[in-house]
Amino acid sequence: MNISSEAFVLGMSALGAGIGMIAGLGPGIGQGIAAGQGAAAVGRNPGARGEIMPTMLLGQAVAETTGLYSFAIAIILIFANPLVKML
């Protein structure tokens, strides 16, 4: 059974995009932990809410960039696939 090189590249690109989307799990777990710890910290010391919340939100925004980058790469691999043009 012969597989064309274009079909092989498309298949491997889809596999790579799927594996790359696993990177979306990390930010989700990290943000959940950060939100829980932030809520616990505000519960222990409500007066520090003004310092805790912005720091927590900044940390969540930085953590989310990993998931967004992996999503962008997956979309490029699936729809724009620059590797097929190299064949």
The total number of structural domains in the chain stands at 1
Q: Say how far apart CA 29 and CA 76 lie, in whole Å.
A: 25
Give the domain CATH number at 18: 1.20.20.10
Euclidean distance between CA atoms 11 and 5, whole angstroms: 10
pTM: 0.70
Contact call for residues 27 and 66 (beta carbons, < 8 A): yes
Asked if residues 79 and 73 have their Cβ atoms less than 8 Å apart, the reply is no
Q: Are 67 and 26 in contact (CB under 8 A)?
A: yes
pLDDT per residue, tens digit, the chain (87 aa), is: 788 888 898 999 999 999 988 888 888 888 889 889 989 999 999 999 999 989 888 888 888 888 888 899 999 988 888 878 887
Residue range of the domain that includes 22: 5-86
Sign (positive/negative) of CA torsion 60, 24, 74, 66? positive
